[in-house]
Structure 1
Amino acid sequence: MPANLTVSNQTVPPDTSHNFPALVFGILLIVVIICGNLLVCLSVYTEKALKTTTNYFIVSLAVADLLLAVLVLPLFVYAEFQGGVWALNMIICDGLMAMDVMLCTASIFNLCAISIDRFIAVSIPLNYNRKHVDQRQKLLLAATWISALAVASPVIFGINNVPQRDPSCCKLEDNNYVVYSSVCSFFIPCPIMLLLYCGMFRGLRRWEEARKAKLRNNNVRGRAKLQHAVTLPHLTRPPPSSPPPDIQRNPPDLKLEELAHFSRRDCPFPPGYKDCPIQTIAYPDRRYAHTPPIKKTAKINGRERKAMKVLPVVVGVFLFCWTPFFVVHTMRVLCESCDITPQQMSVVTWLGYVNSALNPIIYTVFNTEFRNFFQKFLHSFC
């Protein structure tokens, strides 16, 4: 650490005060992020009910948050504890900046990948694999991390090595790169993600309307067929010359228990009768009602609908936490007349890091399967 700092051509003694509140808050934040996101990964790994495609993307997001807590936050907390003065090697600073850019970018790219995956699930549900990650989804997961690495690669290749670099300050030195990374990491993916979610929820609304209309039509047809069955005078009986040897009574004379037994068979008539109509499911007034076979169609189950309701909350919290940082971070470079203090930068940066601790809390509040696993896991240690 240098003996003094130069500000506006005036030599002032360095600020040697330590920020103990930042140290305490930073340590607590790191512990919460690690514990919460580890539980997310462990729950998907151990619970069969949570092994869905959407949750695999959520695990990828949790891994990004875990790496942020392990590789970035300790050094950031140390710098905050030192009063914002960087006292370590500049190579470590460049590594910190590269990992910070990469992991924050990976977080938002993972959210964008989730929105793409959900949009595909709603748009072409018949061709969507809900249980296992297929080749398309593997490529999407790999693309999020490769793209995040590409955005951070200029720092790795030395873009921070500018002349007259201040060794007491660890930050991105190239203003053009600040704008470039902010646009690639935030200002382009976020609108795309929001548009995809809007399209997804429009598709869900159309799906629900079509499903309700189909149920109404089925109910109307079912009531009409039921009424028709009730008005039938009697069922056709076999000719008297060819009665089945083991049947002595006609179907209308059978007991209710026997009718219930026949209703569970593919043929509603007693053994020995020649003609079998379509499968019977009810006997109103001891007469036979017939229904058409049910066709299987692709559908979005209740668990997936709940997951889709959780994801917008995750996205909304992410935008709330990271939008101030990227706006202030960009304005600090583009607006020379804007007076942005180090304290303001520190606040918006902390707010962004808090997002990594909020995602597991959101899952436990809005997702029953995650909440049950968290409760079961915590009860096992209590």
Structure 2
Amino acid sequence: MDSLNSSESMYQAVNNTVDEYKLSSYTIIITTVFYVIIFILGVIGNVLVLFVVCCNKDMGNSTNYFLVNLSVADLLVLVFCMPVALLETYIIRPWLLGEVMCKLVPFLEYSASQASILTLVAVAIERFVAICYPLKAQYTITPKKTVRICGLIWLIACGASIPYLFMAQHTTYDITENGDELYECGTYNDSLPAEIYVVSCAVIFFLLPLFVLVGLYLRVSLALNKKMPAQCNNRVVFNKKTQEAADEEYSMEIYGGTSHDGDSGNPPEYTPLRVTSRQRAPDPFRAQMKMRKRVVYMLIVVVALFFICLLPQRVVSLWFKYGSAEQQMSLGVEGVYTLVIICRIFTYMNSSINPIIYNIMSTKFRTAFLRALGIKKIRKRQDTTSSHNSSFATTRLNSVQASSMV
């Protein structure tokens, strides 16, 4: 909202006639197509995230609860803010939704944005503790505490967005021949306290979290890329005797039988298949590190896209505020609003793209999504040896799992 209304000089230049506020049919059609696609994908995807995490006990871990919180913020933006933006594409003036919606829409948009960035910071801290101090994470970051942290995140985000309720102005700009008042809605930060507030929010909820997230994920990535990370002193390590015992257990007969052929103890028509010493049990620590790397890489992609998608709106808002009116009006009314629409598309795209990332980069999410949609994943039949190998690997991995994975 503020990217459209933050430049008072721009409004003074284009407020002369209502006709100037009608966008071209081409711009309206293209914008509508993008908005509808983003809205459908975003709502379906984020609702699926809520459904699969809340309805699957095996996905009820701290990381996934934070991702649910992120989906709630995205749904708020898509459901409450995006339809208003689409309406403004068709009817820029007058404002038709009343004073309450004029103030509520920017408040919700910025509350959701700030809740999203705080959630990304929280999940980065959770991953850092879980990977570098796994035993400590078991009692410091529990699902119950995660729910409380999510509640605190929303309290901070909503509290920090309260000034937008006062900065959003619902004012009369004209009166019709019938005596009806025509209203416009704008978010203005032309006072010194408002400017200080806007700059502070940009630093606290955009620049500072960016540096924190880069630092945390850099340390986590370095820890995961080491075979025996120095930071991870509390992990479970298999010693030589444990590995030997695992190899002995893993070396089993696939086909059982009783003695039918003298001293051999085997039926004459086959020889029992045994796993050789080369077919050792999979290293559960290595498998666990591979899972953790996949989760961290997925979260890094989510963070990177968040800042990439929100950066254009931040830059354009500052340009509208501090740039010259001549530079802005050189684009023309159509160009200015097209730039605003592009920034909004990037913002709304960020709210719809996360479930797609989960589906691409997380096997558990992909399987849960398919199951929720009624699509059963087709698996090739494996022979008996593969089944035993997979069962044993899963058992050993679960026994040393130090923290929940996505």
Q: 2:360 aligns with which of 356, 359, 365?
A: 365
Q: 2:219 aligns with which of 193, 199, 202?
A: 199
Greater mean deviation of Cα atoms: 128-137 or 35-44? 128-137
Greater mean deviation of Cα atoms: 360-369 or 114-123? 114-123
Q: Relative to 1, partners in 2 of residues 1:95 and 1:162: Cα closer, same or farther, differing over 3 Å? A: closer
Q: Are 2:165 and 1:160 aligned?
A: no
**Counterpart residue identity of residue 70, structure 1:** V
- Mapped contact 1:324–1:348 kept (Cα < 8 A): yes
Aligned residues: 308
- Measured in 1, the distance between the counterparts of 2:241 and 2:123 equals 39
SS at match of 1:170: strand
What residue ranges of structure 1 are gaps of 5+ in the alignment? 224-254, 258-283, 285-295
Q: Are 2:122 and 1:113 aligned?
A: yes
Counterparts of 1:27-66 in structure 2, within 5 Å, are 27-66=36-75
Percent of aligned positions that are identical: 24
Greater mean deviation of Cα atoms: 166-175 or 196-205? 166-175
Greater mean deviation of Cα atoms: 20-29 or 308-317? 20-29
**Counterpart residue identity of residue 216, structure 2:** L
- Measured in 2, the distance between the counterparts of 1:159 and 1:135 equals 36
SS at match of 1:129: helix
Deviation per CA, 1:187-222: give whole Å up to 9, x if none: 2222212211112222323464569xx999967999
- Measured in 2, the distance between the counterparts of 1:300 and 1:146 equals 35
Give the deviation of 1:181 after TM superposition: 3.0
What residue ranges of structure 2 are gaps of 5+ in the alignment? 1-9, 175-181, 245-262, 266-276, 278-283, 329-335, 377-406
Greater mean deviation of Cα atoms: 74-83 or 133-142? 133-142
1:321 is matched with: 309
**Counterpart residue identity of residue 295, structure 2:** A
Structure-2-length-normalised TM-score: 0.65
Deviation per CA, 1:238-272: give whole Å up to 9, x if none: xxxxxxxxxxxxxxxxx999xxxxxxxxxxxxxxx
Greater mean deviation of Cα atoms: 126-135 or 325-334? 126-135
- Measured in 1, the distance between the counterparts of 2:17 and 2:199 equals 31
- Mapped contact 1:365–1:371 kept (Cα < 8 A): yes
Q: Are 2:42 and 1:22 aligned?
A: no
Q: Are 2:108 and 1:99 aligned?
A: yes
- Measured in 1, the distance between the counterparts of 2:242 and 2:38 equals 59
Counterparts of 1:344-359 in structure 2, within 5 Å, are 344-359=339-354
Q: Are 2:370 and 1:375 aligned?
A: yes
1:332 is matched with: 320
SS at match of 1:339: helix
- Measured in 2, the distance between the counterparts of 1:131 and 1:30 equals 37
- Mapped contact 1:30–1:69 kept (Cα < 8 A): yes
- Measured in 2, the distance between the counterparts of 1:149 and 1:216 equals 45
Greater relative contact order, per chain length (Cα 8 Å cut-off, separation 6+): 2
Structure-1-length-normalised TM-score: 0.68
- Measured in 1, the distance between the counterparts of 2:95 and 2:77 equals 19
- Mapped contact 1:33–1:357 kept (Cα < 8 A): yes
- Measured in 1, the distance between the counterparts of 2:140 and 2:344 equals 37
- Measured in 2, the distance between the counterparts of 1:95 and 1:375 equals 36
Q: Are 2:172 and 1:172 aligned?
A: no
SS at match of 1:188: helix
1:231 is matched with: none
Give the deviation of 1:308 after TM superposition: 1.6
1:11 is matched with: 16
**Counterpart residue identity of residue 376, structure 1:** R
- Mapped contact 2:309–2:350 kept (Cα < 8 A): yes
Give the deviation of 1:23 after TM superposition: 2.8
Give the deviation of 1:369 after TM superposition: 0.7
**What is the root-mean-square deviation in Å for CA atoms of aligned residues?**
4.0
